[in-house]
């Protein structure tokens, strides 16, 4: 286990990039052979839009790495953070660190973004995608990336995670972003069983349904346990009933224009529709 932490502590930028690209290619290939939905869309053009946001994200993350390193160095200098209160077995240190960083650095900020209107307008760009595939996991507004970086730093300070553990978490997080967004069909029973602990493709796809309350559920990133613990889990009887996108921005001119997507946070807020209220009226 110590060797694994050291591996991630010393992982090169080139190797991390290779893992990112390799994972993307792997799931793109799986999408071709085992698609959940046979969507009629221009996959290349769609991918270009989402990959454009990825390039912006990479620049922000390079700057954000300064904050991450500062938080790690603070923990090392002061032996601060929950993981450093007592001596822990290495396996438990790693598992607890991953789970706690996922709570603070991913689940918590995700839930807040759905709860605070001005934050939602930044996160909204991710939900506007009407064709969820592996590239959707890379579709995040620059403003949201800054918010998430802030909570990543907060997670490091709270947990006291080492640099190797932080790099391990971020690498696993990227894998799950690919895995949970990929347009792949999982055996229903296996997906449901795994979803009690981990974020699976079907579990996360429900979060991308175009109306509430499905949109405001299944916030998990790697671990689904926080959704089960805090009562934010939703399942759909028929996954085929899923409609992607967000009900306030269903027009192509709004969800397929990079310029408009960048400007959405600065446009007037739009109240989303609640599906349950529609069903009652119907």
Q: pLDDT grade, residue 132 (50/70/90)?
A: very high
209 φ, ψ (degrees, to nearest 5): -65, 150
Task: Report CA 43 to chain centroid distance, whole Å.
Answer: 21
pLDDT score of 281 more than 60: no
Report helix, strand or coil for 280.
helix
Alpha-carbon distance of 15 to 12, in angstroms, equals 5
**What digits encode the pLDDT tens for the residues 269-280?**
998 877 554 444
Give the dihedral sign, CA 78/221/24/6.
Answer: positive
**Tokens matching residue 22:** 């390799």
In whole angstroms, what is the distance from residue 240 CA to residue 250 CA?
19
- Rounded to whole angstroms, the Cα distance separating 126 from 66 reads 25
| Prediction pTM value | 0.92
Tell me the per-residue pLDDT of 181-233, one tens digit each, with 9 for 90 and over: 999 999 989 999 999 999 999 999 999 999 988 999 999 999 999 999 999 99
Give the Å distances, CA to CA, from 54 to 126, 136, 220, 275.
12, 10, 21, 32
Rounded mean pLDDT, 92-107: 96
How many whole angstroms separate alpha carbon 219 and alpha carbon 198? Answer: 11
End-to-end CA distance of the chain: 56
52: confidence class by pLDDT, cuts 50, 70, 90: very high
Which of 173, 177, 116 lies closest to 147 in space, CA to CA? Answer: 116
Return the pLDDT at 55.
Answer: 87
Write down the mean pLDDT value for the chain: 91
* Prior bond of 211 cis (ω within 30°): no
pLDDT value, residue 275: 58
Secondary structure of 36-92 as H, E, C letters: CCCCCCCHHHHHHHHHHHHHHHHHHHHHHHHHHHHHHHHHHHHCCCHHHCCCCCHHH
Tens-place pLDDT, residues 241-271: 899 999 999 999 999 999 999 999 999 999 8
Q: What is the pLDDT of residue 279?
A: 47
Task: Tell me if the bond preceding 170 is cis, omega within 30° of 0.
Answer: no
Q: Are 124 and 110 in contact (CB under 8 A)?
A: no
pLDDT of amino acid 276: 53
Strands (E), the chain: none
Structure-token match 């969820």, residue found:
132
Q: Cα dihedral sign for 181, 51, 168, 83?
A: negative
């Amino acid at each position: 286990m110590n060797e694994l932490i050291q591996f991630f502590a010393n992982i090169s930028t080139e190797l991390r990039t290779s893992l990112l690209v390799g994972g993307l290619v792997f799931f793109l290939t799986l999408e071709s052979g085992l698609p959940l939905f046979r969507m009629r869309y221009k996959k290349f053009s769609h991918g270009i839009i989402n990959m454009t946001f990825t390039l912006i994200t990479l620049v922000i993350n390079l700057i954000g790495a300064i904050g991450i390193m500062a938080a790690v160095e603070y923990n090392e200098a002061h032996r601060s953070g929950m993981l450093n209160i007592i001596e822990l077995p290495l396996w438990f240190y790693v598992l607890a660190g991953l789970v706690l960083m996922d709570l603070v650095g991913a689940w918590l900020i995700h839930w807040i973004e759905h709860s605070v209107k001005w934050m939602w307008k930044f996160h909204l760009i991710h939900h506007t995608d009407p064709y969820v595939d592996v590239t959707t996991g890379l579709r995040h507004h620059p403003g949201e990336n800054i918010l998430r970086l802030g909570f990543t730093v907060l997670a490091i300070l709270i947990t006291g995670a080492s640099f190797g553990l932080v790099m391990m978490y971020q690498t696993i997080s990227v894998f799950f972003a690919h895995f949970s967004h990929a347009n792949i069909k999982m055996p229903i029973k296996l997906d449901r069983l795994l979803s009690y602990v981990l974020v699976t493709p079907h579990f996360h796809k429900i979060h991308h349904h175009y109306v509430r309350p499905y949109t405001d559920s299944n916030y998990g990133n790697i671990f689904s346990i926080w959704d089960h613990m805090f009562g934010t889990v939703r399942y759909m009887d028929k996954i085929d009933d899923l409609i992607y996108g967000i009900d306030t921005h269903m027009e192509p001119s709004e969800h397929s224009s990079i310029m408009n997507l960048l400007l959405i946070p600065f446009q007037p807020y739009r109240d989303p529709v609640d599906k349950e209220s529609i069903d009652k009226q119907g």
